[in-house]
Amino acid sequence: MIVGVPRESFPGELRVALTPAVVPGLAKAGLEVVLEAGAGVGAGYPDADYVSKGAKILTQRAEVFRTADIIVQVLCYGSNDKSGKGDLPLFRRDQILIGFLRPLGSLETVQEIAAAGVASFSLELMPRTTRAQSMDALSSMGTICGYKAVLIAADTLPRIFPMLTTAAGTITPGRVFIIGAGVTGLQAIATARRLGAVTSAYDMRPAAKEQVHSLGARFVELPIEATDAQDAGGYARAQGEDFYRRQRELLARVVAESDVVITAAVIPGQKSPVLVTREMVARMAPGSVIVDLASERGGNCELTKTGEVVIEHGVSIIGWINIAGRVPYHASQLYGRNLSAFLLHLVQDGKLRLNLEDEIIRSTLVTRQGEIVNPRVREFYSLPALAALQGGH
């Protein structure tokens, strides 16, 4: 079977779906890799590196789609709303598509992917289980994102993070507050601590307390209890507006005392909960920084503008999206490993194994033979259950 790697077409996207290092392992499993010329250059992987590992370079994008049985991308149409649609006419019926699809973003987009006849797999839907850990690209990108967010904050802040004792006196350490202690938040905590900041964190899941403490940060406890804080997949659940209102009241003091606030509270498929209000921003010291990692879905800060940096009340609010893409070399390395682990799970002895009894395959398969087949995606868009649908034929 042939795996095709087209160049990422989203504006400014430098990552690549597979790196040269994973090519020999795929070849051993009977998978040949073809690559659009220059696909890895932006991430620091020249064509020659791929060729030396046994991959083939094709000059035309259309040729990659024509040749490959499986197309792998970082941002497929779905998570690429700028230029992804251009790939639709290139797909062949029963071709396999794997990557970030944002399946809970727009029903119309998922229907268009289904209509192209491809069997598409969304890496965002990877179950958070031990078996699937090596394939969890969302966690890999979250790790890079948490690290980079702290560096962006440190670079923007007009103060320094560590305590310094100098001949000119002592400089007090910066105070960093992280809201949301998932994979991204925990990496942000670790990075802020390494840079010498006094770090504290809050998460509505009680289980996060121990993890925050293990990284040497203070866990901010609020006297409110979330109901069903996480779902069976380990993702945060949305709470009622009363909970968020009380949460904001209690967080206001901690936010006001912080030099940097990093928010990473994301609910899959839903608008991000507003945790930092304009009043809270107004109480922060001038020069403070907020990095809103939930900005793609509206942001955890009321004043965030998606994709932009705004300054309000002297506070810089950074709403950049795709922060993992700003570290393309290592982001591609991790993504490529996750993707190759998934490919090796999917293809055995050179043959595709679409075993729907397998939780990993069942959870990530979104479209097949013109239909949206994923139960979670169908439920999200209030589509009738597939069995009922087929019964009516």
Q: Which residues are catalytic?
A: 128, 133, 136, 139, 235
Q: For residues 389 and 373, is the Cβ–Cβ distance under 8 A? A: no
Torsion from C-alpha of 245, 182, 294, 160, nearest 10 degrees: 100
Residue 13 and residue 236: Cα distance in Å, rounded?
28
DSSP string, 224-277: ---SS-B-TTSPBPP--HHHHHHHHHHHHHHHHT-SEEEE----TTSPPPP-B-
Q: Could you tell me which residues come within 8 angstroms of residue 245 by beta carbon, excluding any fewer than 6 positions away?
A: none
Residue 156: its H or E element: helix 137-156
Backbone phi and psi for residue 269, each to the nearest 5 degrees, phi listed first: 75, 5
DSSP assignment of 328-356: HHHHHHHHHHHHHHHHHHHEETTEE---T
**HSE-up of residue 284 (Cα within 13 Å, Cβ side):** 30
**DSSP result, 160-177:** -SS-EEETTEEEPPPEEE
- β-strands 164-166, 169-171: how paired? antiparallel
Instruction: Count, in order, helices (H) and strands (E) of the chain.
Output: 13, 19
